[in-house]
Structure 1
Amino acid sequence: MPDSDKRYANTLARGLSILRAFRPTDNGLGNLDLSERTGIPRSTVSRLTFTLCALGYLTHGRHHDKYRLGPAALALGNIAAASFSFVEIATSIMQRLADETATLIGVSIQDDGKMLMVKTWRPAGSPSIWLDVGYRMPMLSSSSGAAYVGALTDEETAKLAALLPEDQGQALTRLTEQAREQLLAKGYAFVSGPERFAQSINALATPYRPSEFGAPVAFFSGATSDALSDDRIHDSVGPALARAVDELRRATGQGFPAIAPH
């Protein structure tokens, strides 16, 4: 595990865990909330939130008010977003795909062993209740996770395995093999049936490896199971997503697929 390395700064890792605990739907979090979400003792959380407030990464209006992400966190996020040019280039391509397929199109990244939704494109007239930025999906039971692990090199897979609980090792191996086969045969990966983490939502995903990142991201298409059946995935939406990501690769000057050779 990374925390067994002498170079690993545990206090820094805990502070970042506090920032990661916040979700878009939160109306502020208290020290107890943060302790429960992160597993960090409440006394330690109190010291970390004090420090993060002093640095501007958290804020709270009054002494007993709950914490919210502060201006420093917003500035850091905006700087990071501006650094990834592929998202801006992808916007016209993915918005067109969202409108044509009437599905939610988005980008998810691996974050602490889960897939974090970081950008979405909604079809015109879509309901506001659809998932949005900040939502986290399980790594091993989501199509985004499948596309991500299927695109990893053997070395990257080994590093990911070190982040996950030991009892998930076999599941990671199975998903990796299945996803690689799907990506090579179809250009997209998907998790269907009882293995899918949310039975009410169906999705598929295709990996893309940005030059700015050291690892792939997953472009996904999702909708309710009624609107996006397995048959529709294979007949039209899956191939359309694969073509859209190929178009993005050409637009960004990438002449190679995201899937690593094995």
Structure 2
Amino acid sequence: MREPIRPDYEQDRNFATTLARGLSVLRAFRAGDDGLSNAEIAERTRLPKSTVSRLTFTLGCLGYLTQPQRNGLYRPGPTLLAMGHVAAASLSFLDPAEEMMQALADETGTLVLFAVRDRDKLALVRTWRPANVASIWLEVGHRLPIGASSSGLAVLGATTMAEFSGLMADHPEPCPDGRPLSDLRREGHGQLIAQGYAVIGHELRHSANISAVSVPFRSSRMAGPAAFTCGAQDEALPDRTIHQTVGPRLQQAVRQLQRMMGQPETPAWAASPSE
């Protein structure tokens, strides 16, 4: 089966290129950044530095960016932070998930995270760290490759054909072994059907020493599937522990969240990958 490719929306006459470039500047910022210069933003966005300078000046005037120390470094401004709080509040299901996911992190000794699709990658929007246990360190805003992570495999396996076509229009990176994402989508769907969770193969992992298991989740407040994931160093989360304990517990927690939200406990994935 050929991978469905939606025509690039950037070629649509209704597509506002300047707006898209301004948003790409905002998306260039990461949680661990201590400010970015125009040159650094240009490198991350692949936009001309002259274009970036005009965009950062405009975004600064509107409050989306700020230069608190006047050292040429930009940081997210109050307007952007306010918008982020509004967006986070729209994911109301994460509030009832807080206690159960923290309990899952403590019980399994893993980092539990919730990731949503951000164009060609997955972005972390919430994490829960185990108490009194050293865990892997991933911050909110960190982005995971779709074709090289268990979170991505779960999302791929749960996507409909229409959602997959939309994903491919954002040109995600191919799998590390070169296989098409359509093949990985079928593999993810097969794992979800067989066991209710997804685990990326060792040869595909973008972080060679980190194991993870993921379960997709759907909400009426999101356009497509997202993923809850448990992850840890290999020695703390070997394959046997994933399949005997952590995977089933994560699946149970996601089902419990569905019940709490008044949603049917039907799986987040279709019966057939062709749907």
TM-score under structure 1 normalisation? 0.96
Count of aligned residue pairs for this structure pair:
262
The question of whether the paired residues in 2 share the 8 Å contact of 1:192 and 1:202 is answered with no
Matched position secondary structure for 2:41: helix
**Residue of structure 1 in register with 2:153 after alignment:** 146
User: Could you tell me how far apart the structure 2 residues matched to 1:194 and 1:170 are?
Assistant: 12
Deviation at 1:170, TM superposition (A): 4.9
Matched position secondary structure for 1:116: strand
The question of whether the paired residues in 1 share the 8 Å contact of 2:136 and 2:232 is answered with no
**Residue of structure 2 in register with 1:46 after alignment:** 53
Query: Per-residue CA shift, 1:142-186, capped at 9, x if unaligned?
Result: 000011111111111111111116967952111100000011111
**Residue of structure 2 in register with 1:94 after alignment:** 101
Report runs of 4+ in structure 1 exceeding 3 Å deviation: 126-129, 165-170
Matched position secondary structure for 1:202: strand
CA distance 1:261–1:194, shift in 2 (3 Å): same
TM-score under structure 2 normalisation? 0.91
User: Could you tell me how far apart the structure 2 residues matched to 1:218 and 1:23 are?
Assistant: 20
Q: Does 1:20 align with 2:30?
A: no
Q: Does 1:179 align with 2:188?
A: yes
The question of whether the paired residues in 2 share the 8 Å contact of 1:153 and 1:261 is answered with no
- The one-letter code sitting in structure 2 at the alignment partner of 1:204 is V
Matched position secondary structure for 1:210: coil
User: Could you tell me how far apart the structure 1 residues matched to 2:145 and 2:92 are?
Assistant: 27
**Residue of structure 1 in register with 2:205 after alignment:** 196
The question of whether the paired residues in 1 share the 8 Å contact of 2:113 and 2:229 is answered with yes
Which 10-residue stretch deviates more, 59-68 or 210-219? 59-68
User: Could you tell me how far apart the structure 2 residues matched to 1:122 and 1:128 are?
Assistant: 7
Matched position secondary structure for 1:163: coil
**Residue of structure 1 in register with 2:119 after alignment:** 112
**Residue of structure 2 in register with 1:247 after alignment:** 256
Which 10-residue stretch deviates more, 57-66 or 105-114? 57-66
Percent identity between the two aligned chains: 48
The question of whether the paired residues in 1 share the 8 Å contact of 2:153 and 2:198 is answered with yes
Query: Per-residue CA shift, 1:97-122, capped at 9, x if unaligned?
Result: 11110000010011120111110011
**Residue of structure 1 in register with 2:74 after alignment:** 67
User: Could you tell me how far apart the structure 2 residues matched to 1:56 and 1:253 are?
Assistant: 39
CA distance 1:228–1:166, shift in 2 (3 Å): closer
**Residue of structure 1 in register with 2:227 after alignment:** 218
The question of whether the paired residues in 2 share the 8 Å contact of 1:192 and 1:230 is answered with no
- Tell me how large the CA RMSD over aligned residues is: 1.6
- The one-letter code sitting in structure 2 at the alignment partner of 1:139 is I
User: Could you tell me how far apart the structure 1 residues matched to 2:45 and 2:67 are?
Assistant: 19
Deviation at 1:126, TM superposition (A): 3.4
CA distance 1:237–1:257, shift in 2 (3 Å): same
CA distance 1:62–1:99, shift in 2 (3 Å): closer
Q: Does 1:260 align with 2:270?
A: yes
Q: Which protein has the bigger helix share?
A: 1
User: Could you tell me how far apart the structure 2 residues matched to 1:154 and 1:170 are?
Assistant: 18
Q: Which runs of 5 or more structure 2 residues have no equivalent in the other structure? A: 1-7
Matched position secondary structure for 1:188: coil
- The one-letter code sitting in structure 1 at the alignment partner of 2:58 is T
Q: Does 1:7 align with 2:14?
A: yes
The question of whether the paired residues in 1 share the 8 Å contact of 2:109 and 2:135 is answered with no
The question of whether the paired residues in 2 share the 8 Å contact of 1:144 and 1:219 is answered with yes
The question of whether the paired residues in 2 share the 8 Å contact of 1:140 and 1:171 is answered with no
The question of whether the paired residues in 1 share the 8 Å contact of 2:125 and 2:141 is answered with yes
